[in-house]
Amino acid sequence: LITMIFAQLVRPSLHVKQRLSPSSGYRYFWGWLNAVFNKVDHERIKAVGPDRAASEWLLRCGAKVRYEGFEKWQQDYNGLPTGPLGKFKIQAIDATDSCIMYQGFAHLEGLEHLEEIKLCQCIYIEDTCLERISKLENLQKTLQRLEIISCGNVSDKGVICLNSLR
């Protein structure tokens, strides 16, 4: 009985999937969903602080963070550390294969201990993201290492924008 019910539930979705072409709205749904994940909630930043809010954003998008004084990378959203506000400061971000995009970069504004960012195979990273990173005064002071690997929407123009970083 369970198999029959499951088959009835799955069959219509498979039929719909077959009718949609790659150029239809099927793929745009994921872009929309990723935009929702990247939306900045300024009230949340005020409530929990910039490092906690940025951690939530990054982990929600599939990235990892490492906190100052810790060697282990945090990648489980449900395992985010609790404690007094401001106790856990983001020191490094590994956004490999994540869905972070320009809209979410406002989360980086309050991070005062961020030394490393790795952007590897991030399909939503583009020149405007690198320009945004280069204009953040806090990152101009603290960022020591920035890796950009196989981000297909980044051009020479985006890399040139990074000249204001030390």
- The CATH number covering residue 49 comes to 3.80.10.10
Percent of the chain surpassing pLDDT 90: 73
- Note the pTM of the prediction, 2 decimals: 0.82
Domain coverage including residue 63? 39-164
Contact by Cβ (8 Å): 90, 113: yes
Contact by Cβ (8 Å): 51, 110: yes
pLDDT for the residue numbered 31: 75
- The Cα 60–Cα 114 span in angstroms is 19
Q: Specify if 17 maps to a domain.
A: no
SS3 65: strand
The pLDDT of 3-11, averaged and rounded, is 41
Q: Specify if 156 maps to a domain.
A: yes
Alpha helix locations (H) across 39-126?
42-48, 50-60
